[in-house]
């Protein structure tokens, strides 16, 4: 029996829409346009419509999860600080939408001497690359957008585009604070890319694949990679916090030193989109940790695999919030020292452990 | 996570002090706070009010019966937001009473502090928002507030900077500005007697007789026990023969 994937489910819907269109055209009785109705039920348009529907549904679901991450952060931080978090609507769930409307209604200000095209396009690039990441992480074997062989490689390639856009945004703002913040942000992101790649390399060695489905299937048959590669798990977690520019590694927007970092000049919905992109990247980091180390959608069968996946993602994000609430921001030199002197050797050690395990035939 | 050094301050930044202890503290707080029966510290403002301390200074209020219209509050107000206006009162009749522009008021409480009869008080009201600026000008009727012990400002002691002599209560005789008369300039117009709100000024015969009009010359005499040193007589004097003598 073929498992019902999101694609096959929506394929039936698209085929039905095509048949309705064919019937409607047939009802008109005009002979000259009958071929459009016949064409609507062929493979090409139906597949195209299916892909559009899949993208729409998956993106809406993933964005809702991203928004829920923001809500979760606000509520958990409220609990930790012994205060109420958001309060608009049921459990404060609508506060994010209220804030979105508020940022939308603000005036869009572009500095006079800024490079306007780059200033606008860097935000587009950042949010575009972040949203592209959403589609690369599958929720289960049946709920995904695309499933290429090299998903992990593509994902990390898109993930590492951020320093480029941050650099451009900071430079185009024509502001010293933005420029310094952008340089610091780029230095941080590049420094923490490398341990991530090394850890991912160890996972590739262990599982022998770059495909998320294969990686999760490997963990289902053996064990969650968190246990053999614990050092790598911790390294990946710390680097992921740094990559998504969260406390204690939020140097690019250190408001005490750099006003608001590289995003000083961005206001209105641009700022809203940048914040949204930050949270989407944090969600993607949580999703990567879930899929690579925590067995993805692996879990007892009384719940859907998608639910297990979401539970794990939210748990990882909760730990990120917890770390955020507990720690203070560190200095630039400390940050780079931790990146190059601690995490990089740790990731190399982790790689060695993976190689030894594979060579001994334990996995 | 920082390279070790002999500086004891750096111990805070090592892994245990930097990561594990704060993580434990926050986790403990979160668990304690999330247990049922605990209420967050947040004050749900429009529905709940925070508890105001006893010495809170909100908008000024007035007790119309006590006021003697001496204008001391008008003179002392640093932001000049108090003005005397004439009102028609049921029992008091046509009287002058202060009107406060609360929008300009900075809630310093100087008017209540200087008031000789404790008619001016500080109220605990702080929700003063309104839709127009006109609503913020409180006329004497609107400014009224029921008196409660503690609303008036009575300094038992003086500030060290003001300490010249022994501590004096408000209205006491020892440290009070008194009116000084320059008798040569006085024209016996008796305006000071009419304006004095406490009746401390009395025109009395000096025994001399004006040579032209053959009438006895009168000079004001000041009763220091009644005087509240409000300077109204000084202001009203047409020949500037009255001045305030500072308390020694």
Question: B191-212 pLDDT, tens per residue?
Answer: 888 888 888 888 888 878 888 8
Residue B163 pLDDT exceeds 80 = no
CB distance B26–A334 less than 8 Å? no
- What is the pLDDT confidence band of residue B15, given thresholds at 50, 70 and 90? low
Using one digit for the tens of pLDDT, what is the confidence trace for A29-52? 777 777 777 787 887 888 888 889
Q: Which residues of chain A have pLDDT under 70?
A: 1-3, 254-258
Residue B170 pLDDT exceeds 60 = no
Q: How many CB atoms lie within 10 A of CB A283?
A: 28
The answer to whether B98 and B182 have CB atoms below 8 angstroms apart is no
Backbone angles phi, psi at B107, to 5 degrees: 55, 40
Structure tokens at A239: 């680097």
The model carries a pTM of 0.76
pLDDT of residue A319: 93
Q: List helix spans (H) across chain A.
A: 6-28, 34-40, 43-80, 95-104, 116-136, 151-159, 162-172, 176-207, 212-221, 230-243, 255-258, 268-293, 305-326, 332-337, 344-360
CA angle (A101, A103, A106) in 5-degree steps: 110
Residue B27 pLDDT exceeds 80 = yes
Run of H or E residues at B219: strand B216-222
Q: What is the mean pLDDT of chain B?
A: 83
ipTM above 0.85, yes or no: no
Nearest to B41 among A82, A323, A337 (CB): A82
- Closest chain A CA to residue B38: A82
pLDDT of residue A285: 92
d(CA B34, CA A132): 37
SS3 of residue A285 by DSSP: helix
User: Residue A333 burial (CB < 10 Å; 0-12/13-18/19+)?
Assistant: exposed
pLDDT of residue B1: 47
Using one digit for the tens of pLDDT, what is the confidence trace for A307-352? 999 999 999 999 999 999 988 888 888 888 888 988 999 999 999 9
Q: What are residue A147's DSSP bridge partners?
A: none
Residues of A in contact with B17 (CB under 8 A): none
Hey, CA dihedral for B104, B110, B115, B119, is it positive or negative?
positive
Q: How far is B139 from chain A (nearest CA, A)?
A: 39
pLDDT of residue B198: 86
pLDDT of residue B62: 92
Q: How far is B7 from chain A (nearest CA, A)?
A: 16
CB distance B33–A76 less than 8 Å? no
CB distance B30–A323 less than 8 Å? no
Q: Measured between alpha carbons, how far is residue A42 from residues A11, A47, A50, A349, B236 in Å?
A: 12, 9, 12, 54, 103
Q: How many CB atoms lie within 10 A of CB B109?
A: 18
Residue with token string 């019966």: B65
Nearest to B2 among A84, A325, A334 (CB): A334
DSSP label at A142? S
d(CA A146, CA A151): 9
pLDDT of residue A321: 92
Which residues of B lie inside 8 Å of A (Cβ-Cβ)? 1-3, 13, 18-19, 22-23, 25-27, 29-30, 33-34, 40-42
Interface mutation target, options A326, A329, A331, chain B, most CBs of B under 10 Å:
A326
């Amino acid at each position: 029996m073929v498992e019902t994937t999101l694609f096959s489910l929506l394929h039936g819907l698209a085929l039905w829409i095509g048949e309705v269109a064919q019937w409607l055209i047939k009802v008109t009785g005009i002979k000259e346009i009958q071929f459009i109705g016949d064409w609507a039920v062929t493979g090409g348009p139906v597949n195209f419509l299916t892909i559009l529907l899949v993208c729409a549904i998956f993106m809406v679901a993933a964005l809702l999860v991203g928004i829920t991450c923001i809500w979760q952060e606000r509520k958990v931080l409220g609990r930790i600080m012994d205060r109420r978090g958001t309060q608009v609507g049921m459990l404060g769930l609508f506060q994010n939408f209220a804030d979105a409307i508020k940022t939308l209604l603000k005036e869009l200000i572009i500095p006079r001497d800024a490079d306007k095209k780059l200033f606008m396009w860097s935000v587009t690039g950042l949010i575009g690359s972040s949203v592209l990441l959403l589609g690369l992480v599958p929720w289960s074997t049946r709920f995904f957008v695309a499933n290429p062989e090299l998903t992990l490689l593509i994902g990390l390639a898109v993930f590492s585009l951020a320093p480029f856009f941050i650099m451009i945004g900071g430079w185009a703002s024509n502001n010293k604070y933005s420029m310094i913040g952008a340089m610091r942000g780029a230095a941080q992101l590049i420094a923490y890319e490398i341990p991530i790649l090394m850890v991912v390399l160890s996972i590739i060695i262990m599982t022998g694949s770059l495909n998320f489905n294969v990686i999760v299937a490997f963990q289902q048959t053996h064990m969650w990679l968190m246990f053999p590669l614990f050092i790598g798990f911790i390294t990946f977690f710390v680097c992921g916090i740094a990559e998504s520019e969260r406390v204690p590694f939020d140097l690019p927007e250190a408001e005490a030193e750099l006003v608001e970092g590289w995003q000083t000049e961005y206001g209105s919905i641009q700022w809203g989109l940048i914040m949204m992109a930050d949270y989407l990247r944090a969600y993607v980091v949580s999703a990567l940790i879930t899929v690579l180390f925590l067995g993805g959608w692996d879990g007892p069968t009384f719940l859907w695999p998608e639910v297990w996946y979401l539970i794990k993602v939210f748990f990882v994000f909760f730990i990120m919030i917890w770390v955020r609430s507990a720690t203070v921001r560190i200095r630039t030199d400390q940050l780079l020292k931790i990146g190059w002197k601690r995490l990089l050797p740790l990731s190399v050690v982790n790689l060695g452990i993976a190689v030894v395990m594979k060579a001994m035939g334990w996995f | 996570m920082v390279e070790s050094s002999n500086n004891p301050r750096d111990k805070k930044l090592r892994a245990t002090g930097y990561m594990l202890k704060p993580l434990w503290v926050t986790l403990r707080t979160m668990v304690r706070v999330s247990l049922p029966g605990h209420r967050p510290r947040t004050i749900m403002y429009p529905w709940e009010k925070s508890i105001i301390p006893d010495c809170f200074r909100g908008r000024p209020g007035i007790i119309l019966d006590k006021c003697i219209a001496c204008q001391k509050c008008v003179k002392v107000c640093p932001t000049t937001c108090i003005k005397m206006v004439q009102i028609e009162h049921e029992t008091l009749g046509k009287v002058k009473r202060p009107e406060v522009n609360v929008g300009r008021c900075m809630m310093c409480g100087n008017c209540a502090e200087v008031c000789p009869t404790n008619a001016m008080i500080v109220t605990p009201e702080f929700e003063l928002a309104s839709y127009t600026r006109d609503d913020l000008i409180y006329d004497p009727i609107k400014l009224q507030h029921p008196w409660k012990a503690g609303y008036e400002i009575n300094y038992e002691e003086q500030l060290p900077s003001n300490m010249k002599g022994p501590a004096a209560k408000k209205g006491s005789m020892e440290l009070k500005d008194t009116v000084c008369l320059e008798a040569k300039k006085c024209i016996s117009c008796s305006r000071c007697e009419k304006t004095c709100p406490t009746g401390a000024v009395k025109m009395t015969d000096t025994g001399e007789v004006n040579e032209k009009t053959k009438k006895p010359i009168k000079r004001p005499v000041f009763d220091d026990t009644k005087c509240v040193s409000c300077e109204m007589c000084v202001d009203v004097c047409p020949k500037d023969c009255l001045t305030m003598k500072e308390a020694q």
